[in-house]
């Protein structure tokens, strides 16, 4: 696997002067939420080189969660859990609204070694300090992390988000409609950061369905990965609301895009560092780049229509997808009940089992939404209800079932 790209430029060590980290795009470099004046004074006094880029607000981890539901995730986040009897649920809520590449530093009141180990080893927190803070402990323990001296160790740790590929058994079966509305619903319900990657470089319709026009850049990144820098996502990603970005292209029909496996892997690595969920609208049949996307996907959503050709191609593609290494395939029957289509029982017999998800035929609502450049799910309750099982399967586990490993993954510190 190629080396992980740095999404925040790391500046020189603290002793050399200058800011420790710099903001990238719309992301602040360092944001702190502290509950008391003494801790704020210790942070300011212990990190004098960071004063130009450090923002300090009064509040605890719950205030941080509320703020980051609306704001961009900083590169470095310092949070206060002092006075909380149940810190893990609060950290779960925070992790759900942060991008996976954030580096989290925690301050609290407990000083026992068992709690320290739980924070840093199990939950993926970069460092934990107990109160009362002093300038010396902040400079000695937080300073090296903020200066980037722990970058080499961080690169040895696995990090990333959930990748879901959506592909159609045949053209026109509605795979792009499923991908777009899945991404929109994930962003709305999970409040996590979602990327929608449309790999239909010619004739893709994800941008049309969202009412935006893709620019240039994605083709270059996929064909020439050595030309991609840390600001690639900020230039190419189109904001769709505050939690969703579209990464797409609109190449001429007479062009011949040639995405490479290396380019696709690098783009995916950058997306997995910045987003909690990555939804890929994937062309079929797969070339080398598409196979790399399938191998990186935790789940593949295979969409088919209620017809004989769709059943045949779905069965063939399910075998192909399994051979590419995707961990799970979900069969989605789209446009069930359409005039002239096969009855659900016949589709089930053809597949050898019932499809995992069934979406109804909505011949008026979906074309109207596409023509208006609006995702259909927010305005079509029947589509939302039908997609609920797919959303439940793909979205994060409920908080009561979430293991500490989930926090470590979301905080970018899960071990490979």
246 in Cβ contact with 218 (< 8 Å)? no
Assess if residue 190 is contained within a domain.
yes
216 plus 340 within the same structural domain: yes
Number of domains in the chain: 2
N-to-C CA span, the chain: 12
Task: Indicate the pTM of the whole model.
Answer: 0.67
Instruction: Please determine, for residue 407, whether its predicted confidence score (pLDDT) is greater than 60.
Output: no
6 three-class SS: coil
Task: Identify the band that residue 5 occupies on the pLDDT scale cut at 50, 70 and 90.
Answer: very low
**Nearest residue to 106 (alpha-carbon basis) of 416, 353, 411:** 411
> Which of the listed ranges 83-87, 106-110, 408-412 does the model predict with the highest average pLDDT?
106-110
What pLDDT score does 51 carry?
61
95 plus 179 within the same structural domain: no
CA separation for the pair 398, 162 (Å, rounded): 16
Assess if residue 403 is contained within a domain.
no
% residues pLDDT > 90 (the chain):
48
Instruction: Please determine, for residue 247, whether its predicted confidence score (pLDDT) is greater than 70.
Output: yes
Q: Which of 156, 189, 218 is the last residue of a domain?
A: 156
33 three-class SS: strand
Place of tokens 């470590």: 408
What pLDDT score does 408 carry?
57
365 plus 305 within the same structural domain: yes
174 plus 69 within the same structural domain: no
Assess if residue 32 is contained within a domain.
yes
136 plus 193 within the same structural domain: no
178 plus 84 within the same structural domain: no
Mean pLDDT over each residue of the chain, to the nearest integer? 83
Assess if residue 116 is contained within a domain.
yes
Assess if residue 3 is contained within a domain.
no
CA separation for the pair 107, 227 (Å, rounded): 40
CA separation for the pair 267, 201 (Å, rounded): 14
Task: Identify the band that residue 152 occupies on the pLDDT scale cut at 50, 70 and 90.
Answer: very low
Assess if residue 9 is contained within a domain.
no
Residues 295-305 have pLDDT tens digits of: 889 889 999 99
178 plus 294 within the same structural domain: yes
40 plus 181 within the same structural domain: no
367 plus 221 within the same structural domain: yes
Query: Please, which residues have CB within 8 angstroms of residue 112's CB and are 6 or more apart in sequence?
Result: none
Q: How many CA atoms lie within 13 A of 381 on its CB side?
A: 0
The angle at the Cα of 307, spanning 173 to 292, to the nearest 5 degrees, equals 45
Domain extent, residue 356, equals 162-394
CA separation for the pair 411, 397 (Å, rounded): 16
CATH (domain of 332)? 3.40.50.300
Instruction: Please determine, for residue 214, whether its predicted confidence score (pLDDT) is greater than 50.
Output: yes
Instruction: Please determine, for residue 287, whether its predicted confidence score (pLDDT) is greater than 50.
Output: yes
| Bond before 285 cis per omega within 30 degrees | yes
356 plus 266 within the same structural domain: yes
Instruction: Please determine, for residue 30, whether its predicted confidence score (pLDDT) is greater than 70.
Output: yes
Q: Which of 126, 156, 186 is the last residue of a domain?
A: 156
Assess if residue 275 is contained within a domain.
yes
Q: Which of 140, 156, 172 is the last residue of a domain?
A: 156
Burial class (CB in 10 A: 0-12, 13-18, 19+), 209: buried
Query: Please, which residues have CB within 8 angstroms of residue 92's CB and are 6 or more apart in sequence?
Result: 399, 402, 406, 407
CATH (domain of 90)? 3.40.50.2300
Widest distance between CA atoms in the chain:
75
CA separation for the pair 307, 338 (Å, rounded): 10
270 plus 225 within the same structural domain: yes
* H helix intervals, 47-150: 61-68, 87-97, 113-117, 135-137, 143-146
Assess if residue 4 is contained within a domain.
no
102 in Cβ contact with 94 (< 8 Å)? no
137 plus 174 within the same structural domain: no
């Amino acid at each position: 696997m190629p080396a992980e790209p740095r999404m925040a430029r790391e500046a020189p060590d603290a002793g050399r002067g200058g800011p420790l980290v710099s903001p990238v795009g719309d992301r602040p470099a360092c944001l702190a939420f502290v509950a008391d004046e003494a801790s704020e004074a210790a942070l300011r006094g212990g990190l004098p080189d960071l004063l130009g880029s450090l923002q300090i607000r009064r509040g605890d981890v719950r205030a941080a969660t509320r703020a980051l539901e609306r704001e961009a995730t900083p590169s470095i986040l310092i949070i206060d859990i002092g006075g909380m009897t149940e810190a893990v649920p609060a950290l779960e809520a925070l992790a759900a609204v942060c991008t996976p590449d954030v580096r989290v530093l925690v301050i609290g009141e407990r000083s026992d070694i068992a709690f320290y180990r739980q924070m840093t080893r199990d939950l993926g927190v970069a460092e934990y300090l107990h109160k009362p803070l002093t300038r010396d402990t902040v400079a000695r323990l937080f300073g090296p992390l903020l200066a980037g001296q722990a970058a080499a160790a961080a690169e040895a740790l696995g990090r990333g988000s959930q990748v879901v590929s959506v592909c159609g058994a045949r053209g026109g079966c509605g795979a792009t409609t499923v991908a777009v509305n899945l991404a929109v619903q994930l962003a709305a319900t999970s409040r996590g950061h979602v990327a929608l990657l449309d790999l239909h470089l010619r004739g893709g319709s994800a941008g049309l369905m969202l009412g935006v026009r893709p620019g240039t850049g994605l083709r270059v990144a996929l064909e020439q990965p050595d030309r991609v820098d840390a600001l690639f996502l900020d230039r190419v990603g189109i904001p769709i609301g505050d939690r969703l970005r579209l990464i797409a292209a609109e190449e001429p029909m007479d062009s011949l895009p040639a995405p490479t496996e290396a380019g696709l892997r690098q783009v995916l690595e950058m997306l997995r560092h910045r987003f909690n969920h990555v939804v890929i609208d994937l062309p079929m049949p797969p070339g080398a780049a598409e196979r790399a996307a399938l191998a990186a996907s935790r789940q593949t959503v295979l969409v088919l229509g209620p017809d004989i050709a769709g059943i045949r191609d779905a069965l063939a593609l399910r075998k192909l997808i399994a051979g590419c290494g995707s961990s799970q395939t979900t069969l989605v029957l789209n446009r069930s009940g359409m005039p002239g289509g096969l009855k659900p029982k016949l589709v089930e017999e053809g597949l050898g089992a019932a499809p995992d998800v069934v979406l109804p035929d909505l011949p008026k609502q979906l074309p109207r939404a596409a023509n208006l450049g609006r995702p259909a799910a927010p305005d079509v309750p029947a589509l939302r209800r039908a997609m609920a099982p797919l959303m439940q399967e793909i979205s994060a586990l409920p908080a009561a079932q979430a293991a500490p490993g989930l926090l470590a993954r979301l905080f970018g510190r899960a071990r490979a």
